[in-house]
Structure 1
Amino acid sequence: MEVPVIDLLPYLMVCGKLGGDSAEQASQLGPELEELCVKVSRILRETGALLVKDPRCTVEDNDRFLDMMEKYFERPSEFKRLQERPNLHYQVLVGVTPEGVEVPRSLVDEDMQQKLKTMPKEYQPCTPTGPDRKWRYMWRVGPRPTNTRFKELNSEPVIPEGFPEWKDTMDSWGQKMISAIEVVAEMAAIGFGLPKDAFTSLMKQGPHLLAPTGSDLSIYGELQNIFAGYHYDLNFLTIHGRSRFPGLNIWLKNGQKVEVKVPVGCLLIQTGKQIEWLTAGECIAGMHEVVVTGRTLDAIKLASEQNRSLWRVSSTLFSHIASDAVLKPLGHFAESPLASQYPAMCAGEFVEQELAVINLKGKKPESC
């Protein structure tokens, strides 16, 4: 199965996001766009993943970002560790998380381990034996609240020395990917029969993070080596630009395993745990892993022949619900039989509880 591709251009044009009077035009979607919104919500519900084309996010933007991050990850470990902030929960905050720190959920979650054993063998993920073999750099995107109970989740960014283009490149690519997610969030809300801003209003001043990962294929480029063990994302929606090395496997809601092929010019969006909460399980957080596959080996061979970098870089961005906003089933989802499994809590409290499981938490969360 191929992950469906949605062209966002028709929605962008009608809603004035490419210029024009958005307030006037947004209420005139018409039956074709309304049907497209229903399609977006259905794909997210059934597959947990969606490929989109957004003319505001160009191939050149993605390449500029990947070029810079390859140069960064190629620097010695001693240099990269200067941007380490373990006191600030590593991943969901700022700076770099070295390889060998983040623990995949499937390594520590006993319920998940039992579930994996019941999967058909051809759908089972690679079995992790330790922490992930990836570096990750966390960069905050967008404004943060001046008053919040979760200050560690809204910390100031860290900029490495010797990269004068760093801030502009990170901010530009991060803002463009956030804009793409906001459009998908609007379309999904409409498709689910919720107000257009049901999701995006909760995203305002959220701790969104551009979080590129780097894995050294010159060291770990062997078949089935695991860079990110089987897990789900704890945030709202995750978006990825196209990597130069394949290796991402996702699991559909029906349990089928799919190796994702991201076409040139497309972005991949995946459902996280926060949208699962807001929809009372209608959208399940998408399970995925990043491993060395046969297609990865082919890409390694080609890159070596062309004398290109052998660091696999993902341009991943985690969009979040605002830390002080309340996570709970929205609208008609509150009437779902499963709603009681998703009790109301601050998004920031939920994030810190999740971090504790995967070895990235620093202190006890504050309650709402």
Structure 2
Amino acid sequence: MTIASNICAASNENRDDATDIPIIDVQEYMNNGKGAKEQCRKVADSLHQHGILIVKDTRASEEDNSTFLNMMERYFEQTDFTTDARPNLSYQVGVTPELIERPRNHCQRVAKLDLAHQPVTLCPPELDKKSRFFWRIGQRPESTKFKELNADPVIPKGFPEWSQVMDMWGNKMLATLHEIAGMAAEGFGLEKDTFHKAMKSGPHLLAPTGSNFNQYGKLGTVLAGYHYDLNFLTIHGKCRFPGLYIWLRDGRKMLVRVPDGCLLVQAGKQIEYLTGGYIRAGFHEVVVTPETLKTIEKRASKNESLWRVSSTLFAHIASDCVLQPLEAFVTPKAKEMYPPILTGDQVLQELNQIQLGTGYTLNR
């Protein structure tokens, strides 16, 4: 089966040749080419219909991604997962050890999925067998009610290139998302800067996860349980190990393959809020598959790192912005389902649900 030129393929038991996820050419939009408006329409339609996009942006090269992955593999191989951890800041900077985060319980939702498209994640979900590092990307707000969500960065010892490499890759992926945000706005018939204004000084996070296949390399092991992302948009570069499954809006499960030179974008909870549910946050999980085992064997034979590092960035709406459906998406149902809330409060509520939060009171 082929979906979007071999970008996303379902597992053998979940074939569906009718699915068409377009490849978005960011350069066509940036250069205001003849197909720019069509690209905007494709962004809006794909986010609505599927919750994901495949993006081509030559500014984010595979060489740059490799530089980032190489450094993160070395980091996860040698860190003690304690020195760089900041549990007092809800782990929103620095490292989060494995077996800390627990996905929200979505068992009722899972029960409604076709058996062939249900996740491997147990109900109720277990603690994730992944680690993560959060590195802030972009300008921080001059003042905020949510200091823990906009805290100073953690720079690991022994990595003199750390800030340069993290900022290099993080800023390139965030730049791609800024273009996608503009394209989405235009595709919805909104002002181009509608989402840009809300993203300004948001707590954007370069968020590589680390999974140790020396310990968790058994077939069927769930590394990151079935979940949605709490932020605005998530972008992934190419990972060196397969195993990321996503769910389309209609409940179909797909195994993701991101080719060289392309990026995967997925909708998060904050864009669901802003569009009153017109776009829905996409679900996903990371599992050890037969393909994963083949890659582990191949890399082990070459004495290459057996840490699976994701190339992930979370773009956020600014913490002090009010999160609510935009005027174009306001309906009685949308107002009921998505009542106004400060974005920082929305984030802290979500963090408490996945056992990363430290407790909070609403900032009214």
* TM-score (structure 1 length as normaliser): 0.91
Q: For the residues of structure 1 that align with 2:44 and 2:359, how far apart are their CA atoms?
A: 36
1:56 corresponding residue in structure 2: 59
Q: CA deviation at 1:338?
A: 2.7
Match of 1:326 among 294, 298, 322: 322
Report Cα offsets for 1:30-62 as digits up to 9, x if no partner. 5x3212101111101111111111111011110
Which SS does the other structure have where 2:83 is aligned?
helix
Q: For the residues of structure 1 that align with 2:246 and 2:240, how far apart are their CA atoms?
A: 18
Q: CA deviation at 1:74?
A: 0.5
Amino acid at match of 1:10: E
Amino acid at match of 1:241: G
CA contact (8 A) 1:251 1:258 kept: yes
Which SS does the other structure have where 1:82 is aligned?
coil
Q: For the residues of structure 1 that align with 2:108 and 2:336, how far apart are their CA atoms?
A: 24
1:7 corresponding residue in structure 2: 25
Q: Percent identity?
A: 52
Report Cα offsets for 1:56-84 as digits up to 9, x if no partner. 101111000000000000015x3x31001
CA contact (8 A) 2:213 2:307 kept: yes
Matches within 5 A, 1:308-347: 308-335=304-331, 337-347=333-343
Matches within 5 A, 1:178-193: 178-193=174-189
Task: Point out the more displaced range, 153-162 or 112-121.
Answer: 112-121
Amino acid at match of 2:53: L
Which SS does the other structure have where 1:52 is aligned?
strand
CA contact (8 A) 1:300 1:310 kept: yes
2:137 corresponding residue in structure 1: 141
Q: For the residues of structure 2 that align with 1:315 and 1:36, how far apart are their CA atoms?
A: 25
Q: Which has the higher helix share?
A: 1
Question: What is the RMSD computed on CA atoms of the aligned residues?
Answer: 1.3
Match of 2:74 among 71, 75, 94: 71
Q: For the residues of structure 2 that align with 1:119 and 1:44, how far apart are their CA atoms?
A: 20
Q: For the residues of structure 1 that align with 2:39 and 2:281, how far apart are their CA atoms?
A: 22
Which SS does the other structure have where 2:149 is aligned?
helix
- Cα distance, 1:336–1:283 mapped onto 2, change above 3 Å: farther
Match of 1:203 among 199, 209, 214: 199
Amino acid at match of 1:75: Q
- Cα distance, 1:51–1:365 mapped onto 2, change above 3 Å: farther
Matches within 5 A, 1:177-256: 177-256=173-252
Which SS does the other structure have where 2:153 is aligned?
coil
Match of 1:359 among 355, 358, 363: 355
Amino acid at match of 1:246: P
- Cα distance, 1:365–1:144 mapped onto 2, change above 3 Å: farther
Which SS does the other structure have where 1:137 is aligned?
strand
Q: For the residues of structure 1 that align with 2:320 and 2:264, how far apart are their CA atoms?
A: 27
Runs of at least 5 residues in structure 1 that lack an aligned partner in the other structure = 15-28
Q: For the residues of structure 1 that align with 2:117 and 2:58, how far apart are their CA atoms?
A: 35
Give the 4+ runs in structure 1 shifted more than 4 A: none
Q: For the residues of structure 2 that align with 1:145 and 1:365, how far apart are their CA atoms?
A: 21
| Number of residue-to-residue matches in the alignment | 344
CA contact (8 A) 2:211 2:307 kept: yes
Q: For the residues of structure 2 that align with 1:179 and 1:69, how far apart are their CA atoms?
A: 21
Q: For the residues of structure 2 that align with 1:362 and 1:354, how far apart are their CA atoms?
A: 11
CA contact (8 A) 1:149 1:366 kept: no
Amino acid at match of 1:203: M
Q: For the residues of structure 2 that align with 1:140 and 1:174, how far apart are their CA atoms?
A: 9
2:114 corresponding residue in structure 1: 120
Report Cα offsets for 1:153-207 as digits up to 9, x if no partner. 1000001100000000001111111000000010011111111111111000000
CA contact (8 A) 2:29 2:37 kept: no
* TM-score (structure 2 length as normaliser): 0.92
Amino acid at match of 1:192: F
Report Cα offsets for 1:222-248 as digits up to 9, x if no partner. 111011000000000001110000110
CA contact (8 A) 1:352 1:365 kept: no
Amino acid at match of 1:5: I
Amino acid at match of 2:299: A
Q: CA deviation at 1:336?
A: 6.2
Report Cα offsets for 1:279-331 as digits up to 9, x if no partner. 00010000000111111111111111221100000011100000001111113
Match of 1:38 among 37, 41, 62: 41
Task: Point out the more displaced range, 334-343 or 235-244.
Answer: 334-343
Q: For the residues of structure 2 that align with 1:6 and 1:298, how far apart are their CA atoms?
A: 30
Q: For the residues of structure 1 that align with 2:320 and 2:63, how far apart are their CA atoms?
A: 36
CA contact (8 A) 2:325 2:334 kept: no
1:157 corresponds to 2:153: yes
- Cα distance, 1:7–1:143 mapped onto 2, change above 3 Å: same
